[in-house]
Every structure is written in structure tokens, then in C-alpha cells.
A and B are shown apart, each in its own frame.
Chain A
Amino acid sequence: MFKWIHRFGSPPFVYRLSGRIAPVLGVLCLILMLTGLYLGLVVAPADYEQGDSYRIIFVHVPAAWMSMFVYVVMAVSSAIFLIWKMKLADIVAQASAPIGASFTFIALMSGSLWGKPMWGTWWVWDARLTSELLLLFLYLGYIALRNAIEHPQLAARTAAILAVVGVVNIPIIHFSVDWWNTLHQPATITKFDKPSMHPSMLKPLLIMVVAFQLLYFYNLLVRVRSGILQREKRAAWVAKELEN
């Protein structure tokens, strides 16, 4: 019954499949990104209180969400690698780390740029900001740890343990604004309540969220493909694949 799932453990199969899917994701992402940016930066009205400064939300919120989503993907595939010794899961985790770190950096930077005029400070050590900074350090720590250990298998296992354990930080980031009082505002969009945002602003935001999601998967597939080639460079199928 689960026979089909084993095909996703086969590097040649995944290499060819992702080669076909990646360009589609890339084009879709570009279209949605341009639509979202146009609707968000040009069409959407200014905010009653913040004026045009609020438009940073169209980059900040998707980036912040993706920073957490990518980490969860990294932690889950690291766990799969630790338990089932599936090499491809390790490649996914390794490929995700720099992408996640970039999303985290974008979220922190854009938030800081918005914070100076709105709050009156670039940075404050409240629970939300601090835990998001910790997430950036987790990503960087994962990358550094992998590069610090010379033995590839040992490096993969050690880094995977760090990724799995670090997942504890994710609920802390998410609930920090509810558990403690912070300068950062609570969530605008929640699953159970109606969003505290006007539909004309919400639509571009949701488009940008989908675009960022596609951006991640596009980058992931491209990086996974090069990861597969790197590790399988001595395999016969790679030589054959690169010939055509």
C-alpha cells in the first residue's frame, strides 16, 4: 500500500520529478509575486493610522511565516533522517537551512525598518523579537555545525539533532505575543477569528503569502537537485543524465 512512497526515496526519480515541477513553481511564483506587490503597494489604500508605512506588512508577514514554516520542514525531515536514515530527507533539511535563514533575516530587517518610525525604536528585547532572533541563530548554528564537522555522516547526524531539538522555539515564537506582554502586536490573521484587516488589504497579503510559499518550494527543489547531484556524483545514472 505504501509502495509508491518508496519512489520518493530514490534520488534519480526525485531529481527528474523536481526538474519538471520547479520551472512551473518558479513561473507561478513570479506571477503571484508581481500581482501581490502591485495590489499591495499601488492599489491597496493607506492605513488610517500608519499611512503608507504599513505596506511593509506585505513582505514582513509572509517572510516571518515562512521563517517558521521552513524550520518545521527542516525539523521534520531531520527527524525522518535520524529515524529512517533516509538520505533525501537530509538533503531537504540541508537545502532548507539557508532559505529559512534568509526569510528570518528579511522578517527581522523589515520589522526593524518599520519599528523605528512606528514604535520609535529599531529594536526592543521583547519576547517576539528575541525568539525570532533566536530562530536566525538556530539556522546559522545548523549551517555552521554542518560545516564544522569534517566527517559528512557525523555532520549530518549532529546537525539533524540540533534541528529537531530547536523546533521547541517555534511555538514560543508563535504564542509569544499571547503568553507575555510585548511591544509587537498580536496576530492580525488567526484561524478562528475574522481577520482584523480590511479586505482590500487582506487580499494582496494572502497573495503574497502564497507567492512566498512558492518561492520557498521553487528554491528548495533547485537546491535539492544540486544536492542530489553532489552526493551521487559517482553514480552511473548521474553520468547518463548529464550526457543528454
Chain B
Amino acid sequence: MKPKRKQRLILVSLMVAGVALAVTFGLIAFNQNIMLFQSPSDVAAGNMEAGQRFRIGGMVVDGSVQRRDTNLDVQFSLTDHASTVPVTYNGILPDLFREGQGIVALGKLDDKGVFVASEVLAKHDENYMPPEVAEALEKAGKMPGTAANYGNTTLVQP
């Protein structure tokens, strides 16, 4: 390689390496802010203050969903299988919302430690299959993404 070209090669490599390093430091510094949501364990550890707006992500606990007949009020519990946080919400839930499903809610904690959500988003997992296959897996107890197979999935990362 001619010396001139070698020089330019080194220059270009240094440029990319420099920018990569700067971006890495930037991302590490802002790590907490890039996280879209906090886990119920973070809330249980007292990292969040009452009245502070943040997102919480977790699985809807089986059998915890309670709806009112007269209005859209809904109550449920969110868990990361270490801690559980009660959530209340008034509004229309997304199609994928159900018990055992991962969701992300935006809102704040009240004085009693209940998370009052103003927005609920469903978090989909990476599994795709026809209904018959899902049924067969369900019967065999091998359904990915359910509580029994929680370790097999990255549905909600702690």
C-alpha cells in the first residue's frame, strides 16, 4: 500500500473509532434515560418517588384484572416475578392486553403506592405461530412467554 493511502486509511479508522468511543460514553452516561420503563422491583426498592411521572413495565398477574361495569376503570397488578405493583387505569386498553401479557404503563405513584396509569401499551413478544400450534403448546405446557416458562423468554427484562 502506498504511504499516502495508508495514512488516509489510518485517519478514517481513527475517525470512526473516536466517534464510536464518544457515542459509547454518551450512551453509558444516559443509560437510565434510554431505558423505556422501570421494573416493579425498581419501584419496590424505592427508586421512584410519589408524583414523579415514569413508565413501568411488567407482566399482568393472572386473575388480578378487575373491571367496573359502569365505567372504564380497570385495576390490575404488574409483576416481574420478584415484586408486584398495583395499577389503576381509566381508558381503552390495547388489543393485546390480557392476563399474563407484558405491558408498559405511563403514570405516577400515589401516596399509597398504587401506580395511577394515564397510558397503557401492550408489549408484544417475538413469538409467531398459528392458533393450532399455540393450542398444542399450551396443552403441553410449553408455551413461551407464559409464567410457567418465564425463563425461556425475554418478554420483560428485569
A: residues with CB less than 8 A from B are: 45-50, 54, 57, 79, 82-84, 117-121, 124-127, 161, 164-165, 167-168, 172, 180-183, 185-188, 196-198, 200-201
Contact = CB atoms under 8 A, between A and B. Distances in A.
Contacts of B124: 49-50, 118-119, 185
Nearest to A187: B126
A46 B130 contact: yes
Query: Lowest 9 CB-CB distances: which A-B pairs, in order?
Result: A120-B94, A48-B134, A45-B130, A126-B36, A198-B129, A48-B131, A197-B128, A188-B126, A196-B127
Instruction: Tell me whether chain B's interface is mostly helix, strand or loop, or mixed.
Output: mixed
Given A83-B5, A127-B34, A180-B36, A121 B121 contact: yes
Interface of B: 5, 8-9, 12, 15-16, 19-20, 23, 27, 31, 34-37, 57, 93-97, 104, 119-135, 144, 154, 156-157
A96 B99 CA distance: 46
Given A46-B131, A48-B133, A196-B126, A118 B16 contact: no
A185 B131 CA distance: 20
Contacts of A124: 36, 121
Given A119-B124, A120-B97, 15 more contacts: A48-B129, A48-B131, A49-B124, A83-B9, A117-B94, A118-B94, A119-B94, A121-B121, A181-B36, A183-B104, A185-B125, A186-B154, A196-B128, A196-B144, A201-B130
A38 B119 CA distance: 37
